[in-house]
Amino acid sequence: MGQADGAQKPAAPEIEAMYEYGYRKSNYGPDELVTDAHGNPISVIDAMMSASEAGQTETVTPHLCYYSPRIPGNTGSAIRLCAVTGTILHLVEPLGFNLKDTKLRRAGLDYHDMAHVVLHPDFDDLVNSMPDSRIIAFTAHATKLYTEVEYKPTDILLFGPEPGDIPDPMDIMEGPHVAEQVRLPMRPSLRSLNLTNCASIAIYEAWRQLNFAGGR
């Protein structure tokens, strides 16, 4: 008798073995995307860098910082951006979502991507962990274009929260710790770009200036 419509055939033993070593096991749900080398779920926090590690790590691109991000999908995309460019992503609390949010994890994250992320309890923790870094704030209030800056791998590219009901933290974006304020050009009277689209443009411009070191 034939198999009923829609029923799935059991995985062959060799396929199950493949999932066991280096791939996600077949019986895990679609949201269990943060895994170890054998495909087993691990804590998101355990997969991250510490602030001290990030401050001592030599990078080929500037660091990227999201201050109080609110939309999990944007942060998930930023984590993947940083993984493929060798950038370290700093997330400054409070966050507008739980790090276990399914929209964050559905951005295609895995253990190696999360190894490029640092979580800070507040902005002072970021500043104190990288005291010699230049902070460049990306804000629509700036007059200088982002292409007018000569970027260094030790720089921190700072982006504020996505637009919403919470006012922008101008004490962070315009504070004395900020060395430069820059903006991306846009046509007049149009809404801003998506947060991670902006960050991607900035990171790739900085990486281009640095001759795409470490890339191919």
Binding residues: 160, 184, 192
- d(Cα 122, Cα 81) in Å, to the nearest integer? 23
Superfamily name and number for 46-209: SPOUT methyltransferase, trefoil knot domain (3.40.1280.10)
Q: What is the pTM of this model?
A: 0.79
Contact 105, 33 (CB under 8 A): yes
The whole-chain average pLDDT of the chain stands at 81
Output 1 or 176, whichever has higher pLDDT. 176
Q: How confident is the model at residue 15 (pLDDT cuts 50, 70, 90)?
A: very low
pLDDT score, position 36: 64
Say if residue 176 is preceded by a cis peptide, omega within 30 of 0: no
The answer on pLDDT for 213 being more than 60 is yes
More confident residue, 24 or 107: 107
Q: What is the pLDDT of residue 138?
A: 95
Closest listed residue to residue 51, CA positions, set 134, 136, 130: 130
DSSP-assigned letter for residue 22:
T
Each residue's pLDDT tens digit, 56-76: 999 999 999 999 998 888 998
Beta carbons within 8 Å of 172's beta carbon, 6+ residues apart: 67, 123, 137, 158, 160
Which whole number is the average pLDDT over 188-201? 86
Q: Residue positions in the annotated binding site for S-adenosyl-L-methionine?
A: 160, 184, 192
User: Sorting pLDDT into bands at 50, 70 and 90, what band is 175?
Assistant: confident
Spatial CA neighbour of 35 closest among 111, 103, 107? 111
Q: Which two tokens stand for residue 121?
A: 């309890």
Rounded Cα distance between 212 and 216, Å, is 8
Return the axis-axis angle of helices 195-209 and 72-85, rounded to nearest 10°: 10
Picking from 103, 106, 66, 70, the residue whose alpha carbon sits closest to that of residue 87 is: 66
* Boundaries of every domain in the chain: 12-42, 46-209
Q: Is 156 helix (H, G, I), strand (E, B) or coil?
A: strand
Enclosing H/E stretch for 26: none
